[in-house]
Amino acid sequence: MERVRRGEIWTVSLPAFPKPRPALIVSIDPINDLRPDVLVVPITSKAGPLRIALPEDPQQTGLAAASFAKCESVGPVHKSLLKARIGKLSGDALPAVEAGLLRVLGLDKSAPRASSGRQ
């Protein structure tokens, strides 16, 4: 398998979907090099409150339509499910996705936190 890098966009075959979907690699390169799986954020054409708009640059991203990173759906994917590298995010586009992940994971210190119900 070719090397997988943070910020790249790949088509991914997920068991829950009948056809390959684009996803953004968000795990760091040292982990990508050592582990059989990577962390991805699925990409969709539907906007949503926790979704981050991606640059509309098909030459760079490989995405034909306006697209959004589904930060609320971050998760691991085995590298065998990565089918083709189609593009990558520019260095200035990745921080917005990182901020979306921090918000979803409750790590954004500036955002109000929802109660977990635990004492």
Q: What percent of the chain has pLDDT over 90?
A: 80
pLDDT band of residue 115 (cuts 50, 70, 90) is low
Cβ–Cβ contacts within 10 Å for residue 48, how many?
Answer: 11
For 4, the 3-state DSSP assignment is coil
What sections of the chain are H helices per DSSP?
A: 29-34, 58-61, 94-104
Instruction: Give residue-wise pLDDT tens across range 72-112.
Output: 999 999 999 999 999 999 888 999 999 999 999 999 877 56
pLDDT band of residue 27 (cuts 50, 70, 90) is very high
Q: What pLDDT was estimated at residue 18?
A: 82
Average pLDDT, the chain: 91
At 40, which helix (H) or strand (E)?
strand 37-44
Domains delineated in the chain:
8-103 (2.30.30.110)
